[in-house]
Structure 1
């Protein structure tokens, strides 16, 4: 009996010690970025608006897509209005670092190099690189090294991981970068290059948009590409808020619903510009 009472007292003592210790653990400090967003009542999200089905323009010229819907959820969670800031893909991270946008949501792959400059939350979607071409022999290649030839010319989005992949895995080939995917696909259609290297869903969408042009693509992507939300570095509270919000969307299946809407259901194609 005495030993039981002693054990209980010891347990209570330990709980009190742990509770006291936890009370001194520092929580994320104040966030100037969140304070500014809440004070202004506007969340500025940068996107390229030319990377369907993640982000693109509708016939009215307004941004739409998975990234845009996710940004709307985030703004709603903060209780502020959403301002989609459209910029060319290569200009998005510089805009974040310059404070022109509060975050970037634009099919951005999380890479160690990018993570040295900005913070990332995610991934919110996993994709991979694939080829879009007119040559079936290229997509039939099981080893990417077989695509490394001076006889091949590729296009990829400027400052993208696709361009880095071509430079790394196909250094013998010629790379022609493009400002946007419309220009890149046009190069393939007009035979200015042999293939486009891009995220798998971009290649699949291009097949749907140009069904009579003789285009083919890989059945499965040959790389792993985790897409993340780029955030200002050094802002622990904002990163913590965004991490918890994205986790909630993932666990509640709201994120899955957005993916089903934009990736598995092509009905939105009729709304594209």
Structure 2
């Protein structure tokens, strides 16, 4: 994998050299300043999270590191609440968002997207074996009323508001808060992206945490970029396409979604 990443870095450095003479907007600022600012929450395993040393690691952190290295600039990870990431991008506080963000038409009206580099979907994290056997929203709506937590401003909130009728919804600021509500049985379930639910079920399996066998929806995950910088968009799209062709997505998925040994590094 190291040799593959070196080759990709060399290819992208050539791309940047070609574009720099004509760069404007975000890309020009990144090159001139020598810094790429990537916004994320750092509490969305396996996309991004903090290890025991306080370092931010994860699937998207590896991708951002590759991009910054290939551009020959320093990577700066900017930790923000999920609900404020797009506003921070629009306000110029960050250069891009890589935080398990689903590509939606509503978001695409505000920002440009590159990807998808992962296909996810909605799932539930719960202690209830009955809920964990559900295969559709119709089954979740059957029976007694349930309480669920969702990340405020996320597509999970929209999903619950649109498709889950027989629920009481609690909006949380971060996933740690949502998990704790499930762990302490204040709510019956947390609705979140499927990879996050799978990883969390593995981590807290000794507490009876379980998730669905398959996601309830299919959702593309991508990087959000400023909408008015075609050169930056083109560069990052080429980068993501190069990673896909080189098989790096499969390597990252094996590392962060299948292996699980990285969980020994986090609290």
Mean Cα deviation higher: 66-75 or 210-219? 210-219
Structure 1 position 113, deviation (Å): 0.4
Q: How does 1:179-190 map to 2 (within 5 A)?
A: 179-190=173-184
Local SS of the residue matching 1:223: coil
Unaligned runs of 5+ in 1: 1-28
Match of 2:28 in 1: 35
Deviations 1:161-197 (A, max 9, x none): 1111000001341110111111101111111111111
Q: How does 1:212-231 map to 2 (within 5 A)?
A: 212-231=206-225
Structure 1 position 148, deviation (Å): 2.8
Correspondent of 1:45 among 38, 43, 47: 38
Answer yes or no: is 1:198 the counterpart of 2:189: no
Local SS of the residue matching 2:100: strand
Alpha-carbon RMSD:
1.3
Correspondent of 1:140 among 127, 130, 133: 133
Aligned partners of 1:241 and 1:209: how far apart in 2? 37
Query: So what's the TM-score if we normalise by structure 2?
Result: 0.88
Aligned partners of 1:43 and 1:182: how far apart in 2? 27
Aligned partners of 1:121 and 1:223: how far apart in 2? 20
Answer yes or no: is 1:115 the counterpart of 2:108: yes
Q: How does 1:35-184 map to 2 (within 5 A)?
A: 35-148=28-141, 151-184=145-178
**In the alignment, is the contact (CA less than 8 A) between 1:46 and 1:105 conserved in 2?**
yes
**In the alignment, is the contact (CA less than 8 A) between 2:199 and 2:257 conserved in 1?**
no
**In the alignment, is the contact (CA less than 8 A) between 2:123 and 2:216 conserved in 1?**
yes
Deviations 1:132-164 (A, max 9, x none): 112122122233123236711110111111111
Structure 1 position 67, deviation (Å): 0.6
Deviations 1:183-242 (A, max 9, x none): 101111111111111111111111222122122210111100110000000211111111
Structure 1 position 261, deviation (Å): 1.2
**In the alignment, is the contact (CA less than 8 A) between 1:157 and 1:178 conserved in 2?**
yes
Unaligned runs of 5+ in 2: 1-21
Match of 1:260 in 2: 254
